[in-house]
Amino acid sequence: MLAAIAVATFFATLLGGLFALRFKDSLHLVLGFSAGAVIGVAFFDLLPEAIELGSKYFETSMITSIVAFAFLIYLFLDRVVLLHAHADEEGHGERGSLGAGTLSLHSFLDGVAIGFAFQVSTAVGAIVAAAVLTHDFSDGINTVNLILKNGGTRTQAFKWLLADAVAPVLGIISTLFFVVPESTLAIILASFCGFFIYLGASDLLPESHHRHPTLWTTVMTALGIGVLYLAVSLAGF
């Protein structure tokens, strides 16, 4: 069963990215949805999980402080990349790679979460797997969008998409060889929450609205948030 879920995470991510490549001409709408999806993952999935796992070891204020600190770290990295770029195209390419790399690392941790959940029980594993699969499709969209909107080529976007699709499979496999303490996992989840808030609010959202300030981009952002809220809520039952 775990092997089948690993294959499913690969194809869910891949299909999301191919969807973004196919509808590149409507990128502003897809970006709007991606912004909402990234923000939704941060607030409805990563933050609650971080607080729940870390409640045995940290105060809630500590978890939220880690989120804020991670936001500032990503802000610093993003600005440094841009400041040290010799040309706009080069700088934007590095920025896209930074974002896609973050998403890929998050996908790896998604796989880790699935593997550890199945070590607890099949029922818990199934719930976690459902939650991961529901936003793997969005992860594929987000990865492609971050590369394309920052001046990357379709080939570069597809390479990062493959990396993001393989990442959860590697994460699942890795759980056969190591164990991450809950306290450490809580810090990791809180950090990614901060990264994703930055990506959604400071990168994807402004870009979706910049060239196409229409009502539909706002609707797509709200839809992205709503879809992730619904997916996470249903996965919790």
Rounded to whole angstroms, how far apart are CA atoms 75 and 81? 10
Specify whether the CB–CB gap between 33 and 220 falls below 8 A: yes
Tokens standing for 23? 């509808």
SS3 content of the chain, % helix, strand, coil (to 5): 90, 0, 10
Domain ranges of the chain: 2-45+86-182+201-235
Contact 44, 234 (CB under 8 A): no
Residue holding tokens 């770290």?
Answer: 73
Query: Both tokens of residue 58?
Result: 């940290």
Q: What is the pLDDT along the chain (237 residues), one digit of tens a residue?
A: 778 888 898 998 888 888 877 776 676 777 788 788 888 888 988 899 889 989 999 999 999 999 999 999 888 877 765 544 444 444 456 667 777 887 888 788 878 878 877 876 676 677 667 667 766 777 788 788 778 877 788 888 899 999 999 999 999 999 888 777 888 888 988 988 898 898 788 767 776 666 566 788 888 889 989 988 887 777 665
Taking the whole predicted model, whether its pTM rises above 0.75 is answered as no
Whole-angstrom distance, CA of residue 221 vs CA of residue 223: 5
* CA pair distance 220, 29, nearest whole angstrom: 6
Rg (CA), the chain: 17
